[in-house]
Amino acid sequence: MAVMAHEFFDSVRGKTYNRTRVIVSSHNFKLTPSTEDLCNLVARIQATGADIVKIATTALDIADVTRMFQIMTHSQVPFIGIVMGERGLISRILCAKFGGYLTFGILESGVVSAPGEPSLKDLLSLYNLRLLAPDTKVCGLIGKPVSPSKSPMLLNEAFKSVGFNGVYIILLVDDIANFLRAYSSTDFVGFSVTLPHKETAVKCCDEVDPVAKSIGAVNCIIRRPTDGKLIGYNTDYVGAISAIEDALLGKHNGSSTTVSPLAGKLFVVVGAGGAGKAVAYGAKKKGARVVIANRTYDRARKLADAVGGEALALADLDNYHSEDGMILANTTSIGMVPKVDQTPISKHALKHYSLVFYAVYTPKMTRLLKEAEEAGATIVTGFEMFIGQAYGQFENFTGLPAPKELFRKIMKDY
């Protein structure tokens, strides 16, 4: 245990305390103990005469944080509860909601005093820490990895602009089923779902929207307030297909035509995962002829059969050019941070494509998109899909119309 006596500033409540108070702390750099062991530790620290109890543990799984929240909520003394590591980030953000006495943030980016510690700027500006209260609703992005996501920047600013009492956080999740069991409180109203959990999420929901069920992937989960049941949706396909159609038409505000510019086009989807299924389903619905290229041919064949398309091994993609003017949609992580030097198709093969789309947006310009542009193709970045699918998620989370112009304003400099 460590003892600290401080005059300090409480960043959660915005108050400066002038009287010296004694903080007695315990740090566990290996794990987060059971709830019973944490309770016993609090009692031992109280017995020292501490004014404030501080416990810092380590998250081996994001579900570990629920035990800290439980102690935090029921503590009869001023309590600081921190769970270290990227999986424990939510303990630092949601402390104000669950009754934590204060939290910690670094002053300079990159100068970290404990694993997973966010910057003070992010706590106050990105997560709107001073606006959080016990009745704040929690939304978040479930994935692995999640750190490159721009969703918190976009959605927290949008929440604030419309007066929605909510916060959107990133959630590094190893096992989505375990996560949803652990965070079953109605405080957690909805989640975005990204790689690699979109397909597994279908099985974790109590009900699944028919479109998402047809795709076989869920990227948005809403907890129904009346009964707490989890409802799964898919907004990926709308975001992706709308972005591709707009690019083909030279528009950015949606098409008013009844016939899609994708009708009759040969549409090659790279990847047979959740995003690949969404794009393939959307393209087929618009009348395109769909080809699925995947590292594992059997997965490509299964998806192709489901949408009435053709299957292709990814290794054969360079030699596949049945006609010019094809469309290519990369829905895999090939070329994503940190493997930015990779691409699913060689540059010389891109001459057969009139449009190339990449479903992720980190980085915004991948090697694939750069080489496609050099080959003369129209390119569509994952930014456009991200904006499109975010509209639907915002509306699912809040029940309010998405502030579309604000979304684009926030993201324009990204």
Q: Which residue numbers are catalytic?
A: 27, 54, 198, 236
Q: Write the Ramachandran bin of 264: left for phi over 0, alpha for psi from -120 to 50, otherwise beta.
A: left
**Could you report how far apart the first and last alpha carbons of the chain are, in Å?**
44
For residues 244 and 309, give the distance between their C-alpha atoms in angstroms, rounded to a whole number.
19
Q: Which residue in the block uniquely carries the two structure tokens 């309770």?
A: 39
For residues 83 and 109, give the distance between their C-alpha atoms in angstroms, rounded to a whole number.
19
What is the residue type of 221? I
Angle between helices 404-411 and 151-162 (to 10 degrees): 140
Task: Decide if 300 contacts 294 (C-beta within 8 A).
Answer: yes
For residues 237 and 372, give the distance between their C-alpha atoms in angstroms, rounded to a whole number.
22
Q: Which tokens belong to 217?
A: 């992937």
Greatest alpha-carbon pair distance for the chain in Å reads 79
